[in-house]
Structure 1
Amino acid sequence: MPRYTYDQPSDRDAVENEKTWEARNNPVTVYQLLKKTADAHGPESAVSFQILSGPKDKAETLSWRQLHDKSVQAANLFRSLGVGEKDAVAFILPNANETLIALIGGMVAGVVNPINPLLDAEQIAALLRETGAKVVVTLKGFPKTDVGQKAHEAVAMAPNVAHVLEVDLNRYLTFPKNLIVPLIRPKVKPAHKADVQDFNAALARHNTTLDFADGGVDRVAAYFHTGGTTGMPKVAQHKYSGIVYNGWLGANLLFDPDDTIICPLPLFHVFAVHVVFMAVLTAGAHVVFPTPAGYRGEGVFDNFWKLVERWKVNFIITVPTAISAMMQRPVDADVSSLKVAFSGSAPLPVELFNRFEKATGVTLVEGYGLTEATCLVSCNPLGEGQKKIGSVGVPFPYTDVKILQCDGDGVVLKECGVDEVGEICVANPGVFAGSTYTDEAKNNGLFAMGTHLRTGDLGRIDEDGYLWITGRAKDLIIRGGHNIDPAEIEEVLAGHPAVAFAGAIGQPDAFSGEIPCAYVELVTGATVTSDELLAYAREHIHERAAVPKYIGILDELPKTAVGKVFKPELRRDAITRIYNAALEAAGINAHVEEVVESKKLGLVARLKATGEVDYEQVNHVLGEFTRPFEWMD
């Protein structure tokens, strides 16, 4: 069992009172952590990957000793290609065992830089230039994906990249598919001067013991870009100390060596890497990655419960959009091995929480973290302790959360009291105070008191010490855990000749939590329809996830005294529009009379009955959304 219980807020204090974080003498580097686990759990299963989603499809499992050896080979390979401790190794890959090998090897040799393969080539190239990557690991051309093509196109725009290493997924396929792929493989013709090699062939030429001395000191070991699907994402720096801290939390509060975890989340994201894999690495547990695309993979949701049965999974790692999809399928397998499902990345609707626990009999734990803090901040109690649905739980040991009101420079104007809303500010071993972003200009005003990261999220701490998120000081739209910068949507729409002003927000969505929508004010005398603006947006916004699903045309956008678009009014309109549509579709005799600002809950829809109402039905219908509602007197 994990070393500590985490059922009550007092358990957090007990962990801290036992020892200081510094006194725990954890491994300093990822290599030390890897070696410690390989020595302790060498022959035991570390990671399994299957390229197809069927419960009987071929899978490859690596033991901890094998993962250690291959990761060391990767580190030696990267060093042989000129990568030093301050040089970046980027990978542009879907999930696979090679992705983990590149991840660990990159951290050991230099600074690993996971990049979302769904970004377009221009964005990938910008990230490669921002981090100064010397080496890129990506896919060899493969059917039904353009990752390899985009990666080579990006390298052509990033002259700092000297080497490209290709992973061929064909080795995971069985007869006859593995004979067909070479015949239909898309041809990738690089237009750059970087040297191109086969990743696995290059690995095999290197030793399974380090050819260089592990530095043995804390340093930056990873660059993770923020989730923005439009524009240039910011790049956060993660040190060994933050990575080890996230792994320690999972291994001591959640996983033990006998556990198996299924993680269909992408390995370019901190949730999968720092929260899940580093915890698995620290505990010596076993993690399963189904399909390169994870939850997006063909057949994953249809086969999900059978995969749980196949691998005797104890922990599910998930997000609200995936939970919603799971609940549209029957639990058609033996899932008695399950202990807990852990959900993060986006708020979880109450109705979805209840439906999941009822269907599976499994505890669902909601948590909170962010890329800039190397991830973990808080979670609800894991065992018998009180879970407050809608809360993101109690801050983890050695994590100090303050609710502050600050000016633009991070000067604290006020520390908020119990249930008083302010900006969530975090200090813990995962926060790289002063230098979170690679672009130093972006660190200005990012910290309060010089120590606490300003998350941009608004929230409160209740009398029991539970953290609640009530809104965002920054305007990011979070679509299924994917961050979208509204400024990029607004810039595109403002480029239309008929548009004078544009404001983009997230509108409530039962599946994704929220999806982009926009409101525009037209140039005097101009005429254009919403459909025409939607077509314009689809053409000019590169990332499909960022294209608004609704564009409203207003006579005049609400504005502040200094002429900025006043987005709370737009959010009120969107909540009213979406909730009324849901009520009408369900045949419920009620509507949203107003949307008010609650100090504790943020924007709340106030309902008024227009006839006889089944209140339980209303709870089911509107419980699909994350924004709260209440009845008017």
Structure 2
Amino acid sequence: MKPLPGFAGAEDVRAVEAAPLETWLRGETIPQVLAASAGDFTDEPAYRFYADERLETVAVEESFASLHAKVRAAAALMRSLGVGRTDVVAYLLPGLPQTIEICWGAAEAGIVMPINPFLEPATIAAMLQRVGARVLCIEGPSGTEGTFEKLDAIVALAPCIRHVLVVGEAAASGRAIHYESARDGFAGAVPSAAELPGPGDIAAYFHTGGTTGAPKVAPLTHFNLAAMAFLASYGAGIRRGDRMPCGMPLFHVGGLVMGSLAPFASGACVVQMTRRGYRSPGLLDWFWPFVEREKAAILVGPPTVVIGATQVFQDHMNLGSVRSWVSSAAALPAETHRRFSERTGIPVKEAWGLTEATLVLTFTPPDGASKPGAVGLRLPYCDLAIAAIGADGRPEFLPQGQAGAIVARSPCVFPGYLDAEANGGVLLADGWLNTGDLGCFDEDGYLVISGRAKDMIIRGGHNIDPKVIEEALLAHGGVAMAAAVGLPDRRVGEVPIAFVAPRPGALLDPPELLRSVAAGIEERAAVPKQIVVLEALPLTSVGKVNKQALRLEAGRMAAAAALGLEPAQLRVGDRPGGRVAVSVAPGVALPRSSEAQALLNELGLDFEASMNEEA
């Protein structure tokens, strides 16, 4: 592997592409990448784990050699349980040291499937059954997330599970195996060539909302992940010896690439901030002193964490080690970008991509200019274009500066969803991937994201970009977070409604805020019909604003107004095709069902006499 070149602009991307991609890779499979790093960086620190929320004491530290040995032992354990190349090992684990070794050990032996441990047992079991998972790794009874309490319900609904590995402590269940004891029985294990995967073998299954919204299983190959280890390292400017704090969940591709694989490939040290990372209550209160003590080089976190870190930033700290903050998961509002950099003096380097591309397709050059509102330049070997997608699945490319659907080609594009029928409209002709995002390129080749196709507010057939509304709200000094969605409307289909969370100490009056920001929204149709102030906006498990939860709330509000009820008297839920279904709470008087259905149909909502789940 040649040394990574610099990255200041588009000319550097072209210089990298002058050589074949394989020139830069540490290996073409995950075992090859980890073995090469263990050989080159043997006794250097690869991983540090802080267990306490004040981030004061290192509980675990691993060198590259010791971590690699544990990954190999984990893989050997999986093989002893009958895991072969196409067998699935699932885990329900927080950000523990064992999570890293189990993840990459499972990928060596078979296919790893990380699962969000906060999901309900029935949902988890359905995921396991869908792929026929053979082994389930779970934390023991002392785990603070309460995952072990779900185990009996999960295995009862998922008979595919043959073995349960319990992390952290021995478990009384006859079915369960204590992971650490079993792993240590394979210390020093070395796989045979026949046991190792090839570049085209599937390494991992990730659950994703997909480019069109419904949850899907996205397989990633070993080559996808090995190539992404290089691309993410190059994009972020990761160097040997860097310390990179990780607070992202390790059941998501972003956490596993930026919180393990990419740093490991570059000789950098991952510093895990507690088992729950950024979800740990009060962690941000101790974050900046921790960054100073650790002499962290690159900080990584989604827009919601950028906002929180800005609010708790402390002056007069020695943060000379910090080169950048990498923001991804969602486009960072330009105003939030400016506030952070002005407050901290740290440049923000935005990245953009999706699970179906194994994480990133663009990066703001670490040695180049940052542009608030843009997500950087295309990465090497990644083709990006703006297109209108025809009915035949062929992208029709649009002129420079014109906005449209963002399509991509990359060595890291996944082979297609596990359910092949879901690939329609996603895997396009000539190898293009429909990312589901909308945007355009500026005059310097930086990509500007205008939103998700599914997030567009369609008012009377006219598309309204929610970003226009959100940027205007975030420019107000009292607004910390903002999200705009469509409020069902019987006349024009939907009108904009905005949800905001205040900055600490700010008091927001919705009518006054609406008057204040309306002048900053050039398009009259985009001015919100209503602004709702919440203590905090709902977030997804990876720190994005959960717009679907806000769409459901908007549907509840519209339905309540139509039926003459209070929003709290209604229940709402997702239905196929993005529809919102509405029902009434027990004991609530309602017009005849036919009348309620007619009223709600006018709003584009579905009425159901009863629903089992509430949003």
Whether the TM-score (by the shorter chain) exceeds 0.5 is yes
Which shows bigger deviation, 143-152 or 506-515?
Answer: 506-515
Aligned to 1:418: 400
Deviation at 1:397, TM superposition (A): 0.5
What is the percentage of aligned positions where both structures have the same residue?
32
1: CA distance between counterparts of 2:274 and 2:25?
A: 37
Distance 1:53 1:462, change over 3 A: same
Deviation at 1:409, TM superposition (A): 4.8
1:134 paired with 2:109, answer: no
Aligned to 2:567: 530
Q: Kindly provide the CA deviation profile for residues 350-408 of structure 1, in whole angstroms up to 9, marking residues without a partner as x.
A: 2321222122221111110101111111021212x232211111110000011111135
User: Is the Cα–Cα contact under 8 Å of residues 502 and 519 in structure 1 kept in the other structure?
Assistant: no
1: CA distance between counterparts of 2:143 and 2:203?
A: 33
The amino acid of 1:57's aligned partner reads T
- SS of match in other structure, 1:474: helix
Aligned to 2:519: none
User: Is the Cα–Cα contact under 8 Å of residues 28 and 218 in structure 1 kept in the other structure?
Assistant: no
Aligned to 2:61: 61
2: CA distance between counterparts of 1:504 and 1:91?
A: 42
1: CA distance between counterparts of 2:52 and 2:78?
A: 30
The amino acid of 1:165's aligned partner reads L
1: CA distance between counterparts of 2:176 and 2:111?
A: 20
Aligned to 1:157: 157
1:401 paired with 2:384, answer: yes
Alignment of 1:520-599 (within 5 A): 522=559, 526-533=563-570, 536-537=571-572
Aligned to 1:334: 318
Alignment of 1:26-65 (within 5 A): 26-65=26-65
2: CA distance between counterparts of 1:527 and 1:352?
A: 39
1:209 paired with 2:189, answer: yes
Q: Which runs of 5+ in 2 are unaligned?
A: 458-465, 471-483, 502-535, 538-544, 585-595, 606-615
Aligned to 2:513: none
1:343 paired with 2:327, answer: yes
Distance 1:77 1:396, change over 3 A: same
Q: 1:392 aligns with which of 371, 375, 382?
A: 375
- SS of match in other structure, 1:337: coil
2: CA distance between counterparts of 1:109 and 1:423?
A: 38
1: CA distance between counterparts of 2:100 and 2:262?
A: 14
1: CA distance between counterparts of 2:38 and 2:456?
A: 41
Deviation at 1:20, TM superposition (A): 2.4
Distance 1:506 1:218, change over 3 A: farther
The amino acid of 1:235's aligned partner reads V
Runs (4 or more) in structure 1 with deviation over 6 Å come to 476-480, 501-506, 553-559
Aligned to 1:180: none
Distance 1:419 1:508, change over 3 A: farther
1:5 paired with 2:6, answer: yes
Deviation at 1:215, TM superposition (A): 3.4
1:261 paired with 2:215, answer: no
- SS of match in other structure, 1:91: strand
Aligned to 1:360: 344
1:447 paired with 2:427, answer: yes
Aligned to 1:224: 206
Aligned to 2:357: 373
1:461 paired with 2:441, answer: yes
- SS of match in other structure, 2:288: helix
The amino acid of 1:67's aligned partner reads L
1: CA distance between counterparts of 2:130 and 2:418?
A: 8
Aligned to 1:281: 264
1:86 paired with 2:69, answer: no
Distance 1:526 1:106, change over 3 A: same
The amino acid of 2:115's aligned partner reads I
- SS of match in other structure, 1:447: coil
Distance 1:355 1:262, change over 3 A: same
1: CA distance between counterparts of 2:494 and 2:124?
A: 27
User: Is the Cα–Cα contact under 8 Å of residues 124 and 151 in structure 1 kept in the other structure?
Assistant: no
2: CA distance between counterparts of 1:506 and 1:528?
A: 19
1: CA distance between counterparts of 2:191 and 2:333?
A: 51
The amino acid of 1:207's aligned partner reads A
Deviation at 1:6, TM superposition (A): 1.5
The amino acid of 1:310's aligned partner reads R
Q: Kindly provide the CA deviation profile for residues 26-53 of structure 1, in whole angstroms up to 9, marking residues without a partner as x.
A: 5121111111111111111111112212
The amino acid of 2:402's aligned partner reads E
User: Is the Cα–Cα contact under 8 Å of residues 107 and 221 in structure 1 kept in the other structure?
Assistant: yes
Deviation at 1:152, TM superposition (A): 4.0
2: CA distance between counterparts of 1:4 and 1:43?
A: 25
2: CA distance between counterparts of 1:288 and 1:457?
A: 32
2: CA distance between counterparts of 1:403 and 1:305?
A: 39
1: CA distance between counterparts of 2:11 and 2:58?
A: 46
Distance 1:12 1:152, change over 3 A: farther
Deviation at 1:232, TM superposition (A): 6.8
Alignment of 1:604-615 (within 5 A): none
Which shows bigger deviation, 281-290 or 209-218?
Answer: 209-218
The amino acid of 1:269's aligned partner reads H
Q: Kindly provide the CA deviation profile for residues 48-89 of structure 1, in whole angstroms up to 9, marking residues without a partner as x.
A: 112212242342111111101111000000001011111111
Q: Kindly provide the CA deviation profile for residues 8-31 of structure 1, in whole angstroms up to 9, marking residues without a partner as x.
A: 1222112112x1224556512111
- SS of match in other structure, 1:215: coil
What CA RMSD, in Å, does the superposition of the two structures yield over aligned residues? 3.8
Distance 1:243 1:524, change over 3 A: closer
2: CA distance between counterparts of 1:286 and 1:423?
A: 37
Deviation at 1:349, TM superposition (A): 2.1
1: CA distance between counterparts of 2:441 and 2:159?
A: 48
- SS of match in other structure, 2:311: coil
Which shows bigger deviation, 450-459 or 202-211?
Answer: 202-211
- SS of match in other structure, 1:387: coil
Q: Kindly provide the CA deviation profile for residues 553-575 of structure 1, in whole angstroms up to 9, marking residues without a partner as x.
A: 9997898xxx968xxxxxxxxxx
User: Is the Cα–Cα contact under 8 Å of residues 49 and 288 in structure 1 kept in the other structure?
Assistant: yes
User: Is the Cα–Cα contact under 8 Å of residues 388 and 397 in structure 2 kept in the other structure?
Assistant: yes
1: CA distance between counterparts of 2:309 and 2:169?
A: 27
Aligned to 1:245: 227
2: CA distance between counterparts of 1:212 and 1:135?
A: 22
Distance 1:32 1:471, change over 3 A: same
Aligned to 2:515: none
- SS of match in other structure, 1:519: helix
2: CA distance between counterparts of 1:50 and 1:275?
A: 18
Distance 1:440 1:504, change over 3 A: farther
- SS of match in other structure, 2:265: helix
1: CA distance between counterparts of 2:128 and 2:279?
A: 25
Distance 1:464 1:336, change over 3 A: closer
Q: 1:428 aligns with which of 410, 415, 418?
A: 410
2: CA distance between counterparts of 1:321 and 1:556?
A: 37
The amino acid of 2:6's aligned partner reads T
Distance 1:354 1:89, change over 3 A: same
